[in-house]
Each structure stands twice: as C-alpha cells, then as structure tokens.
A = this chain, B = another copy of it.
Amino acid sequence: MGIREIPLNKVRITDAFWSPRQRLMTDVTIPYMEKILRDQVPGAEKSHAVSNFRMAAGEETGEFYGMVFQDSDVAKWLEAAAYSLFLKPDKALENRVDEMVALIGRCQQEDGYLNTYFTVKEPENRWANLLECHELYCAGHMIEAGVALYEAAGKDELLQICIRLADHICRKFMQEEGIPGHQEIEIGLMRLYHATGNQKYRDMALRFLDLRGRDPEWFQRHTPAHPGIHYGGYDILPEDTAYNQSDVPVREQIAARGHAVRQLYMLTAMADAAADTGDKDMKAACNRVFDNITQRQMYVTGAVGATSYHEAFTTDYDLPSDRCYGETCASVAMTFFAHQMLSLQPDGRYADLMELELHNAALAGMQLDGKRFFYVNPLTVDACVSGIVPGYEHVLPQRPAWHACACCPPNLARLIASLSKYLWSEDDSTLYSHLFIGSEADTRWGKIALESRYPWEGSIRYRIISTEKPFTLAIRIPAYISDYRITINGRIWDAPSLRNGYCHLQKEWQPGDRIEITFDLPVRRIHAHPQVRDAAGKIAVARGPLIYCIENADHDTDVSSLMLAADKKILSLPYQHDLLGGVIPLSAQGYEIQAPNALYSTVPFMHSPVPITLIPYYAWGNREKGSMTVWIREK
C-alpha cells in the first residue's frame, strides 16, 4: 500500500485559526453561494445556474443563461455543501441538497448524458466541440460533488447519477478519441475510481491523459467552425496548444505553460494516477513541473499565473508583482496538486507548499467576513493604478461582491470546508502529520489529537488517544524551521531523524503519550532571484508560514515611500484579537522617503526614521482602499 490520505470523515478539525474559517464556510459563504445560484441576491451578477437545470428538466421555460460551463457552479457548490453537512449537520440544507440532486437526476438523459447547455440549447452538438464546450469539465466537477456527498455526507443519490454519467463517458471515449479542452474530468474519474474501486474510471482518466499532446493538431482537426459563437466567452484558438497543454505528451512536459488551472488540474490527476499505477515517467513529469513552478514561476505568496492574458504561466522568473494574475483558483489547484504529490512520495516540500497556499495566496482570495472574493491576487497594489490603468484593470484593490465567472469562491469554499483531508496520511508503517492544524484523527494506527496555536506560535502538541500497534509518527518540519526541540512525555527526544522534511518518531506508543515540538518563529527576510525584476532591492517578510505585507491603512504615507532598515530586527508584536480577525502584526524600523515634488533628482531624496507595521498578506484589503506591497524596499 502506498501513502494514502486519512479520509475527511475520519478527521475533525479543532483549530483556533481554521475552525472559525470553516464556520464561515458553513454559515456564510456556502449559504450565500446557494442564494447566488438561485438568483436570490439583489444586485449581484445573475447566475441562473439552478434555472438552467430546471429548464433542462423541462420544468421551466426560457433561455439558457451564463457561461457554457455554468453547471460547474452548481457542482462545486454541491461539493462544498457536502463538506458543510459533514462539518455541521443541517437538515434544512440536506433537504435542499436532496432536491437539487433530484433535479439534476431529472436532467440526465436516457444514455447518462448530463449538461444543461447542450440539453437546452444545442442538443444536436453534444460532444462536438471538446476544445471549448467544457462538457467534460462540468462532468468532472459533478463527479467530484457526487463522490463528496457520498464520502462526507453518506448520500449516494448523486453518486449514482455520476456513475451513469461516467459510464456514458467511458462508452463514448473508450472507443473514440477525445481530449478534454479544460482538464478536470481526469480528477473526477480518479476520485470515482477511488470511491467505487471500479478500475474502468481510472483507465478512462489515463486514456484522456495518454492521448493529450500525442497529436498537437488534434484540436485543429476536431474543432468545428462556429462563426459568432464564443462558447468559452472568449476565443480559444485550436492552434494555441500550449494554452491547454496539448502541445507535448503529458509524460514529456518539463515546465508549466499555458492556462494555470488547466495545467494544475492535469498535474493533480497525473500525480494521483502515477501513485496508483507506479508509472515512473508520469511521476518524473510531475516532479519536473513541480520543481519548475516552485523554483521558477511561483510568487513568494504561492500565487501562480503571471499574466492575465489567458490566466497563464509565462516564463521563468517573469513574476511581475503589480499586474500579476495569481488566480485564487490556481492557488487552490496548487494545493490539490501538492496534496496529490504526497500520495506519490512523502516529501516535506509538498506539505510546505500546501501550507504556503493555504495561509497566503489561497486564503487572501477571501475577505475576512467570507462574503467577498478576489479572482486576482497581486503582490503590489498602487491605489492610483490598480483596477484603473490599462494593463492593471484586472488587479482590483478590493474584493468585489461576485464575479460573472464565479469559479473562485466555490473553489476556495470546497478547499477550506474539506481541509480535514489534507492533514494526515498513512502507509503500512507510518502515520504522517502534514500540517500543524488542530485536529483529532481516527487512523488505522489509533486515535491521535493535535493541538496548536499555529500559525502564531511554534508549539505543537500531539496526544495519542488510543493505539494498538506500533507505528512511526512522521511529523513534517517546515523547511523554514532551522532549530526545533521534540519532547515525548516531557522528556527530550534526542535523536529525531529528519528524512525528506519529516521527523520520524518510532516508538511503542501508549495511549496518553504526549509529543511536543517546539520552535521559534523569528521573522524572516526573503530575497528573490535577481531576475525577478519587481523584487530587485526589496525583501519579503515572513513569520512561520505567513507572508506579510504593508498597507496604507497602517501608515501616514503611501507604502511606496517606505523602506525597511536593513540593520534593524523586525519584531513580532503580541497577538491582537481585535485586529483583522486576530493576528500577530510585525513591527519594523524603517524610513519614510520625503516624496519630492520633482519626478527626477540628482540629490538622493531625504528620508526620516519611521515605524513600519506589517500584517499577514492573507488579511490585506480588509480595511480602507489603499496601496499594499509584499516586496518592500530595504535600506
């Protein structure tokens, strides 16, 4: 048996940082999303997603409305609702979920086909345009929702619908060739395979992966002319094969290119498949692209996708901080990818990346109240430029109420609501703890609890509640920790063996055993590779897993005029309950440049000492509108 996550329903999160955020999902975000889907929020962009299903079931009349992939909003909400039912049983929500699932069932065609756009609007064009029409993408999300409702809430009605849908897809695409225009079905099929044990679904996922990139001209030959119709809401050119990673066979990919979410969903499925099949070439490709992203193309916050043009990766070291894309969905997808990489090999780099995404780029996508979301996550915002000047229109200085293309909010909601499954894994000798998130896990090795005040404090306590067999407890030590101390039942454990980022503790564990790991959380100054143009002469500041930033809200001057003193220590302030939902801000000594009236000057500008306050990046944009930067000048 390889390494496998401990499933969602075996892990309860009880964490001062994350539990309130999960409650935000169950109490605010998921109900709000449902209202959006039902067009019950006055002033918000019309969704029409539920109405599309009613029309497909013949129970409402009118026109299909929204993106060709509008169904996926319902699917992602159902997946999030499944996790919500696990986190907080709610009979009324369950009834509404049941109703929605029944409606979806009534939309399914005799042969298993399920898609409202092509049922309502173009039944003659089913499966005719895989490049643009997102039918496989929507199916993948629906299957994920079906599996989630089954695993998290014990409900199998949608799962059965999805099995019929997946069987339909297998019947068609095991015979014919087909390449998904937007990868996602591969993830869905792999999850369905894990849930049902039916290898057919894994084989179908593998076939989609295998065909991809074999014939880079496939989309050019198989995309029908359709003058005037923009299925995706924008032009996708069949010859732009890098956009959807169909330019190179998946096992030969060496660097991340093209649309970031497509790339990362594909990698997620590839890692899952490689772990299952032992396919070494596929594993090697996953590792190569993982390294390329994290060592060449990732923002220090974990954000990826340097350009708004096609929401895409660009090239090594091209990481503009003020007009980046860094889509929230891409950071969610980075978390999925890293999580699946852990099933390939337990390496701390993957857990480190999950931690980075969860605490920074992904979390920043959401307002602290759970009601507003960023699509784009910049590292530098100039209040006079961002959202206004051409080339910066996509970089908003504040989270908007809702998006016409509403992919990011439900993606973040399903990630946070299902956080339980990212915490622990096990193989036939070892229990792995990936994240310092307070929780109680029911494992094959017994019950274990974790308590911490992470990310604010470096004191993590494990407690063995029950156990019967000896096992190794492998605790991921974040790469940023240089020194730590482990005690077991209060006595220092002398010989911790650190392997691939995990400290392996081997012992005949007894119920009541207490393991404590203690480390400092000093403030770190991070330098970027000199080819990262926007970071030249600047530093980013981190404490523990959190990247910090400076905002105008804490200063009398625009943040562009602030410099950190290179020779002065940056200090952690006490935890502040009433600031930004509770944070540890940092305090630095620095300088304020006396902004001159001249644009250019041969006299270096005067500067005077000034205190500088840093806040966690995830919490930016929650006060007044103003400038913000992660990369800060140092003097």
Q: A residues near B, CB below 8 A?
A: 294-296, 298, 300, 306-310, 312, 314-318, 322-323, 380, 382, 384-385, 388-391, 480, 524-534, 536-538, 540, 558, 560-561, 593, 595-605, 633-634
Q: Would you call B390 and A527 a contact (CB within 8 A)?
A: no
Q: Which residues of B contact A599 (CB under 8 A)?
A: 294-296, 298, 317, 528-529, 532
Q: Which residues of B contact A633 (CB under 8 A)?
A: 536-537
CB contact between A602 and one of B309, B314, B526 (< 8 Å): that residue: B526
A595 and B531 alpha carbons, distance in the complex (Å): 8
Q: Would you call A384 and B317 a contact (CB within 8 A)?
A: yes
Q: Would you call B602 and A315 a contact (CB within 8 A)?
A: no
Q: Would you call A602 and B384 a contact (CB within 8 A)?
A: no
Min CB–CB distance A240 → chain B (angstroms): 11
A315 and B312 alpha carbons, distance in the complex (Å): 27
Query: By DSSP majority rule, is chain A's interface helix, strand, loop, or mixed?
Result: loop
Chain B residue, CB-CB nearest to A632: B536
Q: Would you call A600 and B536 a contact (CB within 8 A)?
A: no
A380 and B318 alpha carbons, distance in the complex (Å): 13
A391 and B385 alpha carbons, distance in the complex (Å): 16
Q: Would you call B533 and A380 a contact (CB within 8 A)?
A: yes
List the 9 closest A-B pairs by CB distance, nearest first.
A537-B537, A309-B390, A314-B389, A530-B593, A307-B390, A530-B561, A524-B602, A531-B560, A530-B560
Q: Which residues of B contact A603 (CB under 8 A)?
A: 527
Q: Would you call A601 and B531 a contact (CB within 8 A)?
A: no
A312 and B538 alpha carbons, distance in the complex (Å): 29
A384 and B389 alpha carbons, distance in the complex (Å): 25
CB contact between A600 and one of B307, B389, B528 (< 8 Å): that residue: B528
Chain B residue, CB-CB nearest to A634: B537
Q: Would you call B389 and A295 a contact (CB within 8 A)?
A: no
Q: Which residues of B contact A530 (CB under 8 A)?
A: 558, 560-561, 593, 595, 605
Min CB–CB distance A3 → chain B (angstroms): 27
A257 and B388 alpha carbons, distance in the complex (Å): 13
A489 and B602 alpha carbons, distance in the complex (Å): 34
- Name the residue in A317, A538, A634 with the highest tally of chain B Cβ atoms < 10 Å from its Cβ: A317
- Name the residue in A531, A536, A599 with the highest tally of chain B Cβ atoms < 10 Å from its Cβ: A599
Chain B residue, CB-CB nearest to A300: B600
Q: Which residues of B contact A600 (CB under 8 A)?
A: 300, 526-529, 540
CB contact between A531 and one of B294, B388, B525, B558 (< 8 Å): that residue: B558
Min CB–CB distance A555 → chain B (angstroms): 13
A-B contact pairs, 14 of them (CB 8 A): A295-B597, A295-B598, A296-B599, A315-B384, A315-B385, A318-B389, A380-B533, A391-B391, A527-B603, A527-B605, A530-B558, A531-B560, A533-B560, A536-B560
